[in-house]
Chains A and B, each alone.
Chain A
Amino acid sequence: MRLPALPDLSPQRCLALIMVLLEALTIAGLSRTALMPVLIGGLALIGAAGPRRYELSRQRVYDITALTAMIYLGRYMLLDDNPRYTSLFASQKIALEIALFVLTLQTLLLFQKRNEDRLPLAFPGMGVIALACAAIIEVTPRERLGFQIVAVTFAILAALYGDVSRRFMPAARRHSAGRMAAITAVLLLTSLAGWGAASAMRRYEQQVDRLMRELLEKDYGGSGAVGFGDTSRLGSVALNLARSQPGTALRVLSTAPPGYLRGRVYDAYRNRRWTTSARGLVAGGQPEPPQGLEAGTHPGLWFQWQAKLPPANARRMEVWPASGLAGTCFAPLGCSLLHAPTGQISVSPHGVIRTDEETRGEPYSLFVSPASSVPASPLIATGDEFLIDLLDVPQHLANNVAVQQMATDLFRHCRSDAEKIRAVERHFRESYQYSLDVSVPGQILDPLEWFLEARPAAHCEYFASAATILLRLGGVPSRYVVGFVVSEQNQFSGEWVARHRDAHAWSEAWIPDRGWITVEATPDAGIPAPKESGLWSQFSEYLGHQWERLRVELRHQGLTRLRTLLTQVMLSPPGIGLVAISGLWLAVRIVRGLRRERAALFVTVPPARRPLHQALLSLDRVLAQIVVERASSETPDQFATRLESGRLAADTLGPRSASSAVPESPDPLLLADAAAWYREYARLLYSGADSASTAQVLLNRSTMLQRRLRQRRRSGHS
């Protein structure tokens, strides 16, 4: 029996085969399952070097791909999960099947007969996907080293694959020493740089992690939402401050400075971050306002989560948040009534109000009780026994001798909770320095503990966290709060403005007879204060705010608001002037358009012939005023014949010439000249013999003719 001849193994196919085998080996090693990778690797060997290749239509390729995908989906659904691919997150286990699926597709490509026996350029790209999917597991140090070698090898193979995936000129000297040396150097450099970068990334994981987080949060749009999540690290809010963004985060319409507007409140400090386990109370809204209150200035429902209505002297605040702050209602302490364009809200026991994120950029109104009113209960919809949670201190801080000593020293002479609060505020504001640039040493486990021990210069989150912990050690229930301090006012609109740089962290402490007290432990340099901004920037902000307001109103009220607005604008003096100018402009445009339409008898006029065409239209116009009008369907030759014949009446010209002017007093000589001009024009137009000199002569003759015709008209009138 004679075996079929083996096809040539091109460099490209050779590299592709090595890549597939490398991928199969890697997947087998990482997944610790050898059957499928080995099977696919064997098939790849047969496909690349074997005797048979198959010509497949595009439809057949789609069918095979879909079938393969279904097989692997079935595997994913039916077989037991690979334990290595279940430890990190739920969707991780499909990664192995994706890797095997891509590897299978690559193998099938090796079986396919293709144009000039060339594989697709995306072949290494598929390999990267397979390897990346296979690597979504927690690896041992040895596996990490092995994968590093695989990554470098694969990159080299992919680069060489790109190099050989083109057609070289046959006569060219392909392998020059300089070229080979340069390629080797680049590959060596790539290997070293890639290895070094991966090692550095591993070694400086925390710094890289922080950098990535900052970058990602920056890319999130600098919206100011940073730091207002479910957890808060020491530094989350400072990101806003470090960027020193002048962009507006909140605009507040209020009769008095809004002061501290709370965004999130946290009650537990765990694993170097503040968290909260308090579940919110879900409240539904009512379309009508409570008795005694006027209807809102914007659409929305009314939400009330405390039985006691706000007193009659409750302060109303209308808040316009930036779109990035959707989901959180920034409100001061003592807020118990909300008017917002959302279906339902949730209010945490600490009084933090959350809404749908769909209400992006929509305004909401708050009603705030006076500072003197004491709430009936410290926590909303929760028993007072939960106040004990606000005294919880992490074990490592409670056992820290230095921290204990600090608390003891601070509270030694304090007789009441209020005195303890003042002592804490005084301690931090007088003994510490403020700085946004906090560099925590690499070996430190808890930055807050380090802050309390080493007393470095730090920012508001450190001061607020430390104050909260110290107050808890002193037996005062306290909580950690992040939000904005609003103290800047726009001179044009009267609105209070909080910028992203006004983000702040502070503490709140509970005193039974006074309610919740804001504890400001940050030195003065770190408390957001109004900054001078120029009149022009204030004015431009005012315009921007007005536009935003108009946009929201239009969105809610639609055409009604638009009609009202247009009526207002039209009836104002500038509006009347604008309408007059627009009307005039429109009239001019219409007249010009009509003229142009009349002139557009032959619509397609090449640019070179436009002057001559204009001359034709001018002559038409002058003749129409004096003698006779050329009908729109009449060619220049036909018109010339009519002029020569002296039959100037329009009835011979068909239906479109019904409006032709009745001739006054035709001058035969003049008409003959005009007819000659039209004939010459037609000859030039249709003969194709386009001569610039002839055209110029015609132009001159047209001018002369028009002048003579006008003289004739003047003499006729006189």
Chain B
Amino acid sequence: MDLVVTQEKYDLTTIIKIKGILDISTTSLIDPHLKELDDNVEKLVFDFSELEFIDSTGIGSIINAIHLSQEKGFKIKFINVSEETDQIFDILGLYQILKAVQGEVV
């Protein structure tokens, strides 16, 4: 599998771990995970420690999650973002979108 997405739930927090590549060929795999989120989730954490590659299409799916967070009223956090990934997020304005939606980049 080019992409493996795992989900762990703790109380009101859910951690989604992304392993592998996130591009046009794999982004559709994230959608079911977003649908599965409980309604009472307060925090969604994306763990990018094992992210191998992401491009603008992949980031599009993260942005979907951000939109969902606005709808359902939970916060999003990114953890274990590598330097390269951080640069890409920056260029594509992901942090700006996050700031606009939830007021902070956690």
Does A pair with B?
A: no
Q: Chain B residues in contact with chain A, CB under 8 A?
A: none
Which residues in A have some Cβ–Cβ distance to B below 8 Å? none
